[in-house]
């Protein structure tokens, strides 16, 4: 119970800090919008072909937007040596990690939901019938992005080329999850039944579980040593 309260305290701190500055929130949202507009030049927005690749496009927006906000996860604690103070605090390092992941998840889900709505409006993608299954896929895929992104933002936090290294490291690790999320979302948005995509959903859930466990085990080595 104490552990959960510690996770919640860290998450609330991060969310409060983000809602005051809105640094990651604004930049992720603005970046998502720019990519959504750019897609209209790359494809004919009214064509049938766009519907066939809609899931892929949506997840490209999400993954680019996530790299922006996840980069800030631990980097924002560098000022005034806040990271050292956090690590030295009585909060377990895994709770610190989980708290940050939960805060990142809440922020990213908010950006993604707005992005999903705008995507549907601009490109005439109807998702009303499949809203809940698509939401489940987005929720699972986003947790994979957040958990890997938060973990590796801790890994790269002290590197000189932090902004460059994080995407290079996290995208290949996320590819199995992104592949599963993209395929399932595209099928669902095109009205395909959920059944054949169950294997992708299992892959997503397994990736979420394994990456979360690995992160909670190894975050201590990354932040404390």
- Residues near another protein (CB under 8 A) are 148, 151, 155-156, 158-161, 165, 168-169, 171-173, 175-176, 179, 199, 203, 207, 210-211, 214, 218, 221-222, 225
- The nearest distance, CB 66 to another protein, in angstroms, is 17
**For residue 2, what are the CA distances in angstroms to 9, 13, 29, 110, 218?**
10, 16, 34, 27, 21
- The nearest distance, CB 99 to another protein, in angstroms, is 19
Based on CB atoms, which residue is closest to another protein, 32 or 156? 156
- The nearest distance, CB 14 to another protein, in angstroms, is 22
- CA angle at residue 148 from 196 to 59, to 5 degrees? 45
Based on CB atoms, which residue is closest to another protein, 121 or 161? 161
Based on CB atoms, which residue is closest to another protein, 38 or 217? 217
Based on CB atoms, which residue is closest to another protein, 8 or 171? 171
Based on CB atoms, which residue is closest to another protein, 85 or 168? 168
Q: Which helix (H) or strand (E) holds 123?
A: helix 93-123
Alpha-carbon span 25 to 140, nearest angstrom: 20
- CA angle at residue 207 from 202 to 210, to 5 degrees? 120
Coil/strand/helix, residue 125: coil
Sequential DSSP letters for 180-207: HHHHHHHHHHTT--SGGGHHHHHHHHHH
Alpha-carbon span 185 to 115, nearest angstrom: 14
Based on CB atoms, which residue is closest to another protein, 7 or 154? 154
- The nearest distance, CB 173 to another protein, in angstroms, is 6
- The nearest distance, CB 112 to another protein, in angstroms, is 23
Max distance between CA atoms of the chain, in angstroms, equals 56
Contact between 178 and 141 under an 8 Å Cβ cutoff? The reply is yes
- The nearest distance, CB 75 to another protein, in angstroms, is 15
Coil/strand/helix, residue 92: coil
């Amino acid at each position: 119970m104490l552990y959960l309260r510690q996770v919640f305290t860290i998450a609330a701190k991060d969310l409060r800090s983000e809602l005051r500055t809105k640094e990651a929130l604004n930049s992720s949202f603005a970046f998502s919008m720019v990519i959504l507009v750019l897609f209209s030049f790359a494809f004919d927005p009214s064509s049938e072909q766009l519907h066939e690749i809609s899931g892929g496009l949506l997840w490209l927006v999400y993954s680019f937007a996530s790299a922006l906000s996840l980069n800030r996860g631990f980097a924002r604690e560098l000022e005034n040596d806040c990271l050292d103070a956090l690590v030295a605090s009585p909060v377990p390092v895994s709770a610190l990690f989980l708290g940050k992941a939960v805060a990142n998840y809440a922020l990213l889900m908010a950006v993604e939901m707005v992005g999903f709505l705008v995507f549907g409006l601009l490109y005439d993608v109807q998702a009303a019938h499949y809203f809940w299954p698509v939401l489940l896929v987005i929720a699972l895929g986003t947790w994979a992005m957040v958990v890997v992104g938060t973990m590796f933002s801790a890994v790269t936090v002290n590197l000189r080329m932090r902004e460059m290294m994080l995407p290079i490291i996290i995208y290949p690790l996320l590819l199995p999850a992104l592949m599963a999320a993209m395929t399932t979302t595209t099928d669902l948005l095109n009205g395909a039944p959920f059944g054949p995509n169950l294997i992708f959903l299992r892959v997503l859930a397994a990736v979420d579980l394994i990456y979360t466990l690995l992160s909670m085990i190894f975050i201590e080595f990354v932040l404390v040593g």
